[in-house]
Amino acid sequence: MKTIEMFKPGILILIGIFLIGSLVIASADESLLEGGDSFNNAVQIEPVSYDCTISKDNPDYYKIINITPGQKLIIKAGIPAVESGSANRKMELSLYDEENQQLMLDKEHLIPDEIGTLTVFRTTSSIKSSNIFYLKIQEEIRTTDDPYSYTLDISIEDCFDADSQTDAGNIFDTALEITPGDYKGYLEIDDGDDDKDIYVISMQSGENLDVTITPKGYAKFKVIIYDQDRVKASEEISANNGAIVRTSYNSSISQDIYLEINKRLISSDKEYSLVLALEAEEVTETESTESATEKTSVEEASTEEVSIKDTHTEEASGDDSEGLPGFGVVFALGGLLTVICLLMRR
């Protein structure tokens, strides 16, 4: 027991060192001093906040990976205030795709005592299963406090369609399968390539599909329904910005149909609600009565035909039985004539 008590202080000290070391490592992971000097050796970063430094001669290059379809990447750079007497600051924040093509640019020219924030963002579609983006940050003016520090905040916003964990397809082959219900969807054409959502819905013969699209805000949409052969069956367009779009389709066969939703105009309002109602075709009372009447007529006709057939059979049988007495009379007359002839001879 005494031996254990002697080691207790040492064990507690080791645990304390371990915890402090873990916190230091975690903090170090979220602190970034400088990026790479080109796209080829860009420093990979995660969706957290960083403290960085920048100078005119050394732009920072960063890389963000594994952005999945339906996610929005948001990057913000915070520029601290320029001290009085210092030169102006002019920072640029640029976002690139994995082919190093510029997607978005934001820049800020600050005078002394001003602070600034630069923001770039991108919403991914289903065109790629995973996306890589590059970030370039540079200062165009040599300041008296060159290099200077800034903050970099990386975040991801989920904009998944129809309660899924992805973006509805942009083409028929990647259409998202859904069932009747109420859903929420997103489309981005001003800061992404998510210009359409395509859904696939199973229908049975005789069922009717009602579709209602309600924009959130003042967006304008076009809604198209295609049959199983991807032939356009109907098309509706918002009457004006923010107008609700309604369309329907009745299927004469059992099939999978496609529903395509397009955003017509560039707008910050990207969200829409989707309501799908699927009902079997109702049989009216008149149709039911006509069907029953037709069935009764067929049954009566069948009964009458059987009755007529039976009557003909009976008549044929009756004719045969009545013919027998006629032959008896002939035989009787023949016998009588024979007797008369014999008597006359005597």
- Summarize pLDDT for 174-225 with one digit per residue, the tens: 999 999 999 999 998 677 888 899 999 999 999 999 999 999 888 899 999 9
Q: Is 278 helix (H, G, I), strand (E, B) or coil?
A: strand
What is the per-residue pLDDT for 232?
Answer: 98
With contact defined as beta carbons under 8 Å apart, do 126 and 167 qualify?
yes
Q: Is pLDDT of 304 > 90? A: no
Q: What is the mean pLDDT of residues 80-91?
A: 77
What residue ranges define each of the domains in the chain, with the CATH number in brackets?
A: 28-158 (2.60.120.380), 172-279 (2.60.120.380)
Give CA–CA dist 27/19, Å, rounded. 12
What's the mean per-residue pLDDT of the chain?
80
The whole-model pTM stands at: 0.70
What is the per-residue pLDDT for 331?
Answer: 59
What is the per-residue pLDDT for 211?
Answer: 98
Q: Kindly indicate the confidence band of residue 114, based on its pLDDT and cuts at 50, 70 and 90.
A: confident
- Summarize pLDDT for 52-85 with one digit per residue, the tens: 888 777 889 999 999 999 999 999 999 888 777 6
- Summarize pLDDT for 145-158 with one digit per residue, the tens: 667 888 999 999 99
Which token pair is 29?
């992971």
Q: Kindly indicate the confidence band of residue 227, based on its pLDDT and cuts at 50, 70 and 90.
A: very high
Q: Is 312 left (phi over 0), alpha (psi -120 to 50) or beta?
A: alpha
Q: What is the mean pLDDT of residues 266-288?
A: 77
Per-position DSSP letters for 80-97, written without gaps between them: PPBPTTSPPEEEEEEEE-
What is the per-residue pLDDT for 145?
Answer: 63
What is the per-residue pLDDT for 174?
Answer: 94
Which positions ≥6 away from 113 have C-beta within 8 Å?
81, 82, 83, 84
What is the per-residue pLDDT for 327?
Answer: 55
Q: What is the mean pLDDT of residues 251-277?
A: 90
256 phi and psi angles, rounded to 5 deg: -100, 120
Q: Is pLDDT of 323 > 70? A: no
Query: What whole-number percentage of the chain has pLDDT above 70?
Result: 68
Q: Kindly indicate the confidence band of residue 287, based on its pLDDT and cuts at 50, 70 and 90.
A: low
Give CA–CA dist 259/200, Å, rounded. 6
- Summarize pLDDT for 6-65 with one digit per residue, the tens: 545 555 555 554 444 444 333 444 555 678 999 999 999 999 999 988 877 788 999 999
